[in-house]
């Protein structure tokens, strides 16, 4: 038996990395520990596992470790994820591939199933706590462990090995590599069913599974706005291609309009591939070149800049991870009088003096989503209305993670950082903000139809 896997021709070698020195060995199956890319198609890690299984004459078994709680995730996050897992389970079952979902810490679930595996494949994560899971498994597994990039169009290590200061420094690096990586993947192949079966939790009754969670259930689930799963993700993509892509370059900053994809939660939970989305938009007949370029810059450059931040900045989730110039100017203005000061409870209730901010907070509470341009305004006002910039940073992260369906993603961490100067430049100095970029209601009114946005949110609240 070969100790090293043969190349899988449709998987770029930059996507694949050996995590330990253990050999491939005799086993019942090739294990794919699917934690990040929760989908059956457009999944390089699953395809790599299938390729190795075919080479070894073995089936593939897919594993997922289901925690009863995850830091700052609530019922709305878990319900969305479980809806996607239930669909992925059905899709894989139709291909003869079992998805084994078990309660427990994900590394322990993976290691337990690795006991009978010839080798293990895992998908790559970028948040450091999730990266630590992979390191744990690679260290303790007695078989070969390989990691495959499933999150990004251009693998992060190919794009840059340093912390990039802004989109302008990462963009040319990505653009040079796009033609090499922007290629469609083949469908996942069928296989003969595994026997005897490897057992896990049934996903037929999601209410029962949710009842076993130890999470904050005070916020309602948001399935009527964002049903989980690859089918819903594909539906959102097709809706965007048919309606939202036209005029995207100019209308994407308008919260009253519908020129957004709504794909961020699906990308966060791996229910759709960024590669699939990028190819669909690049090949779309709708919209102009400027519309397509604007969306692809958001999807590829801005998203991969966020992943670069959490990967390369050791203080990725801390105030100390902000640029030195931003922390210095905010410190210099920390004692400036604030026009309004609100506690966290008032902010969560959306009970400020600002109707636009209150409507945006209502949208987050109700739907788990906030238009990105408003999310920036929302965060800037938290900075302005908090007693100190460090407290404002904590509040932004806490509210972001608690309310937004995509709140626990690298993008969200980078977006919160941007509010405080990350990936930005100094602007003219003013009270409270110093030289960190400022946003105000007059700017919203000048650029957007805010009465239409308020009416839109009011309609959601009474629906």
Give the tens place of pLDDT for each residue, 357-379: 999 999 999 999 999 999 999 99
Q: Model confidence over 8-23: pLDDT tens digits? A: 667 999 999 999 999 9
Cis status, amide bond into 196, omega within 30 of 0 = yes
Quote the CA–CA distance of 77 and 226 in Å, as a whole number. 11
One-letter-per-residue 3-state SS of 322-368: CCHHHHHHHHHCCCCCCCCCCCHHHHHHCCCCCHHHHHHHHHHHHHC
**What is the torsion angle, in degrees rounded to the nearest 10, for the CA atoms of residue 430, residue 342, residue 415 and residue 36?**
170
Domain boundaries defined on the chain: 13-150, 152-184+228-312, 319-462
CATH value of 13-150 in 3.40.50.300, 3.40.50.970, 3.40.50.620, 3.90.1260.10 = 3.40.50.620
Is pLDDT of 1 > 80? no
Q: Model confidence over 227-279: pLDDT tens digits? A: 999 999 999 999 999 999 999 999 999 999 889 999 999 999 999 999 999 99
The pLDDT, as a whole number, for residue 241 is: 96
Mean of the per-residue pLDDT values of the chain: 95
372-389 residues labelled b (16+ CB within 10 A) or e (exposed)? bbbbbbbbbbbbbbbeeb
The pLDDT, as a whole number, for residue 8 is: 64
Quote the CA–CA distance of 201 and 204 in Å, as a whole number. 9
pLDDT range class, residue 4, cuts 50, 70, 90: very low
Is pLDDT of 426 > 90? yes
Please tell me the chain's helix, strand, coil percentages from 3-state DSSP, rounded to the nearest 5: 50, 10, 45
Is pLDDT of 176 > 60? yes
Rg (the chain; Cα; Å) = 23
Is pLDDT of 196 > 80? no
The pLDDT, as a whole number, for residue 445 is: 95
Nearest Cα neighbor of 340 from 379, 387, 288 is: 387
Quote the CA–CA distance of 240 and 208 in Å, as a whole number. 34
Domains 13-150 and 319-462 in one fold: no
**The tokens 């253990």 sit on which residue?**
22
Residue 90 in tokens:
């059905």
CATH value of 152-184+228-312 in 3.90.79.10, 1.20.140.10, 1.10.3720.10, 1.25.40.80 = 1.25.40.80
Q: Model confidence over 121-143: pLDDT tens digits? A: 999 999 999 999 999 999 999 99
DSSP three-state, residue 167: helix
DSSP three-state, residue 127: coil
Overall CATH class of domain 319-462: mainly alpha
**What is the torsion angle, in degrees rounded to the nearest 10, for the CA atoms of residue 76, residue 81, residue 86 and residue 89?**
-170
pTM: 0.95
The phi and psi torsions of 59 (rounded to 5 degrees) equal: -85, 170
Residue 132 in tokens:
């630590």
Top-confidence residue, 7 or 139: 139
DSSP three-state, residue 395: helix
């Amino acid at each position: 038996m070969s100790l090293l896997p043969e190349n899988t021709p449709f998987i770029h070698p930059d996507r694949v990395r050996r995590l330990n020195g253990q050999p491939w060995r005799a086993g019942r199956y090739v294990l794919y520990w699917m934690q990040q890319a929760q989908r059956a198609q457009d999944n390089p890690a699953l395809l790599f596992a299938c390729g190795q299984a075919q080479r070894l004459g073995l089936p593939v078994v897919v594993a997922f470790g289901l925690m009863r709680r995850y830091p700052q995730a609530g019922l709305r996050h878990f319900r969305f994820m479980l809806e996607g897992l239930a669909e992925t389970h059905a899709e894989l079952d139709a291909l003869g591939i079992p998805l084994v979902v078990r309660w427990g810490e994900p590394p322990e679930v993976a290691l337990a199933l690795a006991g009978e595996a010839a080798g293990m494949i895992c998908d790559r994560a970028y948040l450091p706590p999730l990266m630590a899971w992979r390191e744990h498994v690679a260290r303790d597994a007695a078989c070969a462990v390989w990691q495959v990039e499933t999150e990004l169009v251009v693998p992060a290590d190919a794009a840059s090995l340093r912390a990039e200061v802004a989109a302008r420094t990462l963009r040319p690096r990505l653009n040079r590599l796009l033609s090499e990586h922007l290629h469609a993947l083949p469908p996942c192949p069928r296989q003969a069913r595994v026997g005897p079966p490897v057992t896990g939790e049934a996903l037929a009754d999601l209410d029962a599974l949710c009842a076993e969670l130890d999470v904050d259930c005070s916020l309602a689930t948001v399935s009527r706005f964002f049903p989980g799963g690859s089918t819903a993700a594909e539906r959102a993509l097709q809706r965007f291609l048919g309606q939202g892509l036209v005029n995207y370059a100019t209308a994407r900053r308008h919260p009253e309009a519908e020129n957004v994809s709504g794909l961020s939660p699906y990308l966060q939970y791996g229910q759709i591939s960024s590669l699939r989305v990028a190819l669909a938009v690049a090949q779309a007949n709708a919209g102009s070149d400027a519309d397509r370029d604007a969306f692809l810059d958001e999807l590829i450059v801005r998203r991969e800049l966020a992943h670069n931040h959490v990967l390369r900045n050791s203080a990725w989730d801390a105030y100390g991870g902000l640029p030195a110039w931003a922390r210095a100017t905010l410190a210099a203005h920390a004692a400036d009088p604030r026009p309004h000061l609100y506690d966290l409870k008032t902010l969560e209730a959306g009970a400020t003096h600002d109707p636009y901010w209150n409507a945006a907070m209502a949208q987050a509470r109700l739907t788990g989503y906030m238009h990105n341009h408003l999310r920036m305004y929302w965060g800037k006002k938290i900075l302005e209305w908090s007693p100190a910039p460090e407290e404002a940073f904590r509040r932004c992260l806490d509210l972001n993670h608690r309310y937004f369906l995509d709140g626990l993603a690298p993008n969200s961490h980078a977006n919160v950082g941007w509010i405080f100067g990350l990936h930005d430049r100094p602007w003219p100095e003013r009270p409270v903000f110093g030289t960190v970029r400022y946003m105000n209601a007059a700017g919203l009114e000048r650029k957007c139809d805010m009465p239409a946005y308020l009416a839109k949110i009011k309609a959601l609240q009474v629906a």
